[in-house]
Amino acid sequence: MQSLHVGYKLKKVSVSFTRPADTTAYAVGDSVANSTSAPVPFTLDLSDMLAGNSYLELRKLVVVSSVKQATLPLFNVFLSAATFTTSNDNAALDIADAVQDAGGAWLACEVQNYTASNSRCAYVGIPIPMVMEGTDQKIYGAIQAANAYTPASEERFTVIAWVAIL
């Protein structure tokens, strides 16, 4: 019998964005985004790794903040194989039912650590399968505050994903 899965390629992909120039505290459930008026989901571009229809697993996801806050942040991250409308920074995150019904994934980033100059939280749970279809080889995402904390003005976030291409 022939094996359907003989191996995979593990790739790292990342994207960064800067939040608005304010220090308005996040409440649990707020959107952490790049704008208070016209936010767009962050985009992890996999086009240099994938060709056509591809199957992958998200193995690890880390959100790095450019500062170390007094209260370290915890995040939930929503990922989708299709773009979507996201909420303004500091507003309650709202992802449309149709987008979630299409098979997006929620990841709870609960492993925290920090250095003197930055902080990060990570999802290191079970691998999340995703199917990339057609020509759009990107993963779109939104970050939700999972605890209350006060961000830095123009805080920069970097989302790093380790993806297994099956």
DSSP 77-127: EEEESS----PPTTSBP---HHHHHTT-EEEEE-EEEE-SS-EEEEE-SS-
Token digits of residue 68 = 């170390």
When the pLDDT of each residue in the chain is averaged and rounded to a whole number, the result is: 90
CB 155 within 8 A of CB 26: no
> What per-residue confidence (pLDDT) applies to 70?
87
Q: pTM for this one?
A: 0.92
Residue 102: which pLDDT band, with cuts at 50, 70 and 90? Answer: confident
Structural domain for 125, as ranges: 21-165
Which of residues 28 and 82 earns the better pLDDT score?
28
Asked, for residue 45, whether it belongs to a domain, the answer is yes
Asked, for residue 140, whether it belongs to a domain, the answer is yes
Tallying the residues shown for the chain, one arrives at 166
Residue 154 to residue 166: CA distance in whole angstroms: 37
> What per-residue confidence (pLDDT) applies to 2?
45
Residues 119-141 have pLDDT tens digits of: 999 999 899 998 887 777 899 99
Asked, for residue 4, whether it belongs to a domain, the answer is no
Asked, for residue 3, whether it belongs to a domain, the answer is no
Asked, for residue 6, whether it belongs to a domain, the answer is no
